[in-house]
Chain A
Amino acid sequence: MLENPVSETFLLESFIDSPALNSKLEVEAALKQLPAVSAKSLHLSQTAFKQFNISTEKNYKNAPIATLNPSKPLKAETESLLKCATAVLPEEKKQVSELEQVPIQTLISTYFSFMILLIFAHVRDLLGKFFYPDQYKSLKEQDGYAPLISDFESLWNRRLYTRISDVFNRPITGVAGGHVNLLERTSKDNNRTFQLTGKKTNVLNLASYNYLGFAQSQGYCADQVEKMILEHGISTCTSRLHGGHTSLLSQTEQLVANFVGTEDAIIISMGYSTNSSVLPLLVQKGCLLISDELNHSSLVAGSRLSGATIAVFKHNNPEDLEQVLRKSISQGQPRTHRPWKKILVVVEGLYSMEGELCNLRGIIALKQKYKFNLYVDEAHSIGAVGKRGRGICDLLNIDPKQVDILMGTFTKSFGAVGGYIAGNKSLISMLRLMAHTSVYAESMPIPVLEQVASSLRLIMDDVPECKGEGLARINQLADNSAYFMGKLKQMGFLVLGSKGSPVVPLLLFNPGKIPAFSHECTKRNMAVVVVSYPATPIISGRVRFCLSASHTREDLNLALKHIDEIGDLLQLKLLKK
């Protein structure tokens, strides 16, 4: 966003009421006069954002954004902001071009580091087995029992993961909001076991999926949840079809359907099983499931369970999908050449590891011709993207009815857990009866259900006493994401992801930098998620920042300042000119 001073002035214009900068022309003229345009624009933007932030903060505390600035319609403001925030839609292949800019020495040193790590791992294993055979007993056949954990498979965990396991599974307490209380822990045996020290530190939370800031213990949602707990209890202790179907569930499902824009929706008590148990109902043997190569593990598990033939297309590449479709439809089923019963294309709305938005428009363009069904997993995009927070379809102006199955979760934007499937009536009725979770698993607990319902009502602006709050959150998130990503890029970091994505992955490459980044962040009171192989390709270990509407501009500026420092320290600014 800050790369282009002209587009920036458009943005500035909508926010600044200062007399010196009240017209677009003046700003442009001012910028032209200055020799160091970028430096000045940076400064300007900072002041502008500071002002904006103060005003939004006020809005947050006092309520609606619209009342504060009645002369300017809220919509126009939002739109201009979003135009900038989501100006670049995913049709360009950004990731490839950025990876190409990576200095070759970084790639070589990354591979070299992994090589050394692996050599050390093997040598340590070898020596360990020789000197302390007792510790390795469980990896060998014993008394006629095969080892439960195979030696080779666990090498990575034992020798590489354990070295840095202190940066994962970190325990917290309290609400995972904009800030979170981290429980300090120590290890006396090289990360094999941890002990809590009892100390707590309040850190800035750039780790939790709390996009719209609904992880709260106070406010409208929490009040509603409290009311519902007192009225309806906590758990139903049974499955949906066996007496666990509550009227609250029916109402919330209708709410979800209205929100997503489909005929009907079903709520499932766990996000992971939403994918893994619904896919087998949609495709069976004799069907073809075409999956994006970077789909989430739950989709992979569901695909495998289904028994359908699985084909894969290149990540976010409709041309490749078309090739796969042409080939598979014309050739039919392997060996028998019978036509496929049906074809299901499975993609994600926002790829959480890449922060990349799906090229849904390109895929939908193929739908008419190739007659496939489309399954979009909106686990990360629902609530988080789009003008009204209604996901990828809202963002790209696509009619949700063009997508056959819209799946999403409540973990990320709604501060709850669980997931939903939205689609037409016949599909949802079938799922109500046949989804594994309807028959064999617990129905959604009451507090979680009410959290979903109340946050949805806020986003849909259905709550008279909190008018505009949902929209303010959506705007704040879009603004935060765009600002944060723009700043990181400006600093010269290698950042992946589409503009407008609330997930911002920053590539770290070298395995040594992965724990180092996390440790440096913890030192500076920030919580971040670092990810490495096997969750990512071996070369591109990364840190993933998740932005939230509950971050203020001060929070982000502080975070950026620290990340800037860490970037210098760890030499991460690979694109610095």
Chain B
Amino acid sequence: MSLQIIKNTKIVLFGALSILLFSLAGSRANEDSYIKTGTQDNFDSQNPQNFFSIGARFVIRYIKSSYRNDPFRTFLEACLVFFIIWYVSRQKYRMNQTEVELSEKEVDELISEWKPEPLVRALTSVEQTILTNTPIINSPNTIIAELSTGTTAINFTSFDFLGIMNSEGAKAKAVQTLRNYGVGPCGPPGFFGTLDVHIELETTIAQFLKAEAAILYSQGMAVCVSVIPCFSKRGDIIVADEKVNFMLQQGIKLSRSKVYWYKHNDMEDLDRVLALANQNSSKKKGSIPRKFIISEGLFQYTGNIIKLNKVMELKNKHKFRLILDDSLAIGVLGSRGAGSTDHFNISAKSIDLLIGSLWGVFGGAGGFCCASKELIGHQRLSGLGYVFSAAMPAIMAITASDSIKRLEIDYILLLSALRKNISTLRNLLNEIDGVEILGDDFSPVIHVELKNEHYFKMIKSSNTGINTSDEISRNQMVEILCGITNEMQNSGVLVVQDIYIVDQEHNVPKPSIRILLSGGHSIEHLEKLSQELKKAIKV
């Protein structure tokens, strides 16, 4: 655009200059004729040449008189004219400065020479192993699952922490909903996709969490990637925990804000980073940027719980806002199961943006964001995943809504069963040598990491690796864990290792086996798990 303007002014200036020169030349001739004939006929304004010559005469007269009166001024004006000529004709900086001029033939040659890389690279052997070892389930995904290999296994892979999913009651309700609403809502919420059940579910969520209002997103993954860029823009500041889950990382990336990472769950470091961020932003002039702390309630990658009281304190001290992804904590933590806010007795209204999921513990689909009414209204127009995506199927909305209502009634029973299982299993696992059990005592997400010595032991005993160095590669770890989970699956315990997209993660965790515990598991299930784990890691 600006380039165009520059070009245009150039043309105009050249035009003006050439007219001036042309008329100067013409005027001399006319002046001569004027002197010769002594009539005024030549100044007929109809004649363009004469028209110019009048102008030129004025110019010449003006130059003569000004030269007479003020030679310095004429000099200055001449300089100005030369400056303009120089300015217009010089080489300018261009945006596409580095572009090379090529002839059509050269372009054709370059095109025929160009060899693109293949669209996708071939999978590595480890990746192939992971893919072929992905368990395929041939039955409802409940506590006991039937695998496509024919074995029946105790399922430790489902986020159904309360063990209430896929029950007969839920299925009957789903069929009833199907008969009333069909499956898909056939449109985004803005264009006749909002169902009455969506509005009801939003109210149910807000009441359950004691938040002001809620908005539904039709897929869990879409929540973080919509909410963060909706509020945090270029030039804003995000301070995030280094172990936040991948979807939060993607949201942060999409926002294009300035990101600072703090050490996982380390409040001193958070304090330091917040101060640093404030210090850096105060150097810049202009209005204050929006500033956010982004963290998870119950960390998916480690099973740790946020120190929410401390975070709230620091957030208020440094004037940051909090975006909290409580997807795993809601339904698990707190006296009512309302998540980390409930756990720390903090009002959900004091969290600026609270994100939760419905596809895990509540067995539906999608997720939600709780915030003040104004911010929810803003998301209904600017939350990309809300505006541009089809609404949630009624079956999933009703299922989620019923699960929340069940938790509201039965929370004492459901939560105590889950907590009993968590402490039992943690005790059992802690007895196993060679492994490290991650996560908080309240967390039903249990990551089992093998200690490095143990990896060496296993490599030596299997004699497959020719590893002589002290280092053990990630691929080797993954392959060993693949073997372990496979063995456990065959003997009736369905666990999987936590899989990551390694090259896209900010801070990829060490490979681990992820055990998701449910209140529906019995003591025997837990004992079987620990036995099989022991057997598989060959302790």
Contact = CB atoms under 8 A, between A and B. Distances in A.
Interface string B109-132: 011001111111111000100110
A414 B118 CA distance: 33
B137 A282 contact: no
A144 B375 CA distance: 19
Interface stretch (B18-26, B56-64, B71-79, B393-401): B393-401
A183 B195 CA distance: 9
Interface string A548-565: 000000000000000000
A326 B104 CA distance: 9
B457 interface: no
A166 B359 CA distance: 31
A448 B187 contact: no
B363 A145 contact: no
Interface stretch (A88-96, A369-377, A507-515): A369-377
B157 A527 contact: no
A330 B112 CA distance: 10
A433 B186 contact: no
B359 A371 contact: no
A416 interface: yes
B538 interface: no
B231 to A, nearest CB: 5
Interface in A448-502: 448, 451
B246 A436 contact: yes
Greatest chain B CB density within 10 A among A146, A297, A325, A371 is at A146
Interface stretch (A39-47, A50-58, A208-216, A254-262): A208-216
A341 B221 contact: no
Contacts of B247: 436, 440-441
B88 interface: no
* Band of interface residues on B: 35 or more
A207 B192 CA distance: 7
Contact of A180 (B166, B192, B198): B192
Contacts of B392: 417
A243 B141 contact: yes
A216 B359 contact: no
A344 to B, nearest CB: 8
Contact of B218 (A205, A270, A296, A446): A270
B524 interface: no
B186 A169 contact: no
Greatest chain A CB density within 10 A among B115, B117, B221 is at B221
A241 B134 contact: yes
Interface string B93-108: 0000011101000110
B407 interface: no
A348 interface: no
B365 A235 contact: yes
B178 A447 contact: yes
A154 B498 CA distance: 42
A175 interface: yes
A446 B231 CA distance: 34
A412 B187 CA distance: 8
Interface in A196-232: 196, 205, 207-210, 214-218, 221-222, 225-226, 229-232
B219 A441 contact: yes
A15 interface: no
Given A144-B319, A157-B381, A233 B220 contact: no
B329 to A, nearest CB: 16
Contact of A229 (B175, B181, B291, B384): B175
B325 to A, nearest CB: 12
Interface stretch (A5-13, A17-25, A384-392, A424-432): A424-432
A113 interface: no
A373 B522 CA distance: 52
Contacts of B294: none
B352 to A, nearest CB: 8
Interface stretch (A116-124, A271-279, A312-320): A271-279
Given A205-B192, A329-B111, A447-B393, A247 B218 contact: no
A541 interface: no
A417 B192 contact: no
B259 to A, nearest CB: 15
B340 interface: no
Given A246-B137, A445-B393, A145 B319 contact: yes
A339 B395 CA distance: 50
B288 A237 contact: no
B119 A282 contact: yes
A432 B131 contact: yes
B137 A235 contact: no
Interface in B309-345: 319, 321
A434 to B, nearest CB: 6
B111 A417 contact: no
Contacts of A412: 186
B119 A373 contact: yes
Contacts of B184: 214-215, 410-411, 414-417, 448, 451
A210 B158 CA distance: 33
Interface in B219-270: 219-222, 225, 231, 236, 245-247, 250, 253-254
Given A277-B221, A436-B250, A415 B363 contact: no
A154 B233 CA distance: 14
Given A226-B175, A229-B178, A234-B166, 9 more contacts: A145-B319, A146-B236, A148-B352, A177-B182, A207-B187, A230-B171, A344-B119, A405-B119, A442-B359
Q: What 3 A-B pairs are tightest by C-beta distance, nearest first?
A: A243-B157, A233-B140, A233-B166
8 contacts: A173-B196, A209-B390, A232-B140, A234-B364, A235-B364, A281-B120, A304-B254, A426-B120
